[in-house]
Amino acid sequence: MKRPFQKLAAASLIVLSVSACSTAASLDGPVRVLSGPPVTDNNTPYSRCLAELRELPGNNFPAIAVGEVADKTGKFDADETGFAVSQGISEMTMSAFFKTGKTRLVERFDLRLAQQEFNFRNTNLAGRKNLAGSVTAADFMVTGALTELNYNIVSGGAGLWVNGAGAGVRTVVVNVALDLRVVAADTLNIAYISSLQKQIVGYEIEANVFRFFGTNLIEFDAGEIRNEPMQLGVRSVVEMSVYQILTDFLGLPVSSGCELSVQGTSAPQTTDEEYAL
């Protein structure tokens, strides 16, 4: 009579063989591409605050030029994930200003296309004369950096295992910080600085059972990991910083539920229907 481990190994081989046959058969024709959830708006819990600014009256919008907003956290893993945070923070900042509908964005970040367009017009390749004199001047320039990424500022957990079976739970909190500065284009004076941080949370639930069958260890694991996405946290602090610039610096009114949380980390409350990843 076969031992339990031998029976398990034999059953696994049968499953793998059936799967291989099924895969081989499916390759005789076009492979059906797996389609996951649909494309959605890339909003954060703070996008609602930016959208409410769009509803305010007014048309004398300042011209904003967003420069480099660099990743200066220094977190890089050459062997696994590469950069820990997004390298597109400048683009996130531009998107946040655009969501407010209360600024005129002027391009200063990547002037290669503009320079090529001017070259085309100067040589009549574009069929138009050089319009360099009509380029909109910036009122303010926004630049800065993601300055902090702190791992495990709070972590903890608990677990219990008895006779090879048990369960546990673990939580972890990290944070990111962003420093943006607003520069007056005519004087190059720094007119305003926004320095904000966002805590990012995650938790893990684990349960396992393991048994020895002869000299072989058989282990069964189950669990769940739910983490607030790191890049969502970065985009969130970008949007709140832009919101602070529009309200605290440029004087637009603050909407209810969008006040900056000084002691806590509460975001505007949303339902699953209003906001989902």
Residue 156 CB partners (closer than 8 Å, separation 6+):
170, 171
Q: Which of 9-13, 143-147, 164-168, 205-209 has the highest mean pLDDT?
A: 143-147
**Model confidence at 191: pLDDT above 80:** yes
pLDDT of residue 270: 53
**Phi and psi dihedrals of 13, rounded to 5?**
-65, -40
CB 225 within 8 A of CB 178: no
- Across 1-5, 15-19, 137-141, 214-218, which has the greatest mean pLDDT? 137-141
Task: Give the Cβ contact number of residue 115 at 10 Å.
Answer: 10
Q: Return the minimum-mean-pLDDT range out of 33-42, 86-95, 231-240.
A: 33-42
Question: Both tokens of residue 226?
Answer: 């739910």
The more confidently predicted of residues 134 and 161 is 134
pLDDT of residue 36: 87
Cα distances from 82 to residues 10, 79, 198, 225, 264, in angstroms, run: 41, 7, 22, 22, 31
* Nearest of 234, 176, 226, 201 to residue 46 by alpha carbon: 234
- Neighbour-count burial for 64-85, b at 16+ CB within 10 Å, e otherwise: bbbbebebebebeeeeeeeebb
Residue 260 has pLDDT above 80, yes or no: yes
Partners of residue 198 on adjacent β-strands: 176
State the first-to-last Cα distance of the chain, in angstroms, to the nearest integer.
Answer: 52
The pLDDT value given to residue 5: 46
- Lowest mean pLDDT, pick from 112-121, 148-157, 253-262: 148-157
Structure tokens at 137: 């001047």
115 or 219, greater pLDDT: 115
Contact yes or no for 243/258 (Cβ under 8 A): yes
Which pLDDT tens digit goes with each residue over 18-49?
555 555 545 677 888 888 899 999 999 999 99
Say which residue, 244 or 153, is predicted with more confidence: 244
Percentage of the chain modeled with pLDDT above 90: 40
Q: What average pLDDT score do residues 190-215 get?
A: 76
Distance CA 179, CA 157 (A): 32
Angle, CA of 44, 49 and 52, to the nearest 5° = 130
Determine phi and psi for 129, rounding to 5 degrees.
-80, 165
Out of 3-17, 136-150, 254-268, least confident range: 3-17
Helix (H) or strand (E) holding 246: none
- Looking at 3-12, 57-66, 192-201, 235-244, which range is the least confident one? 3-12
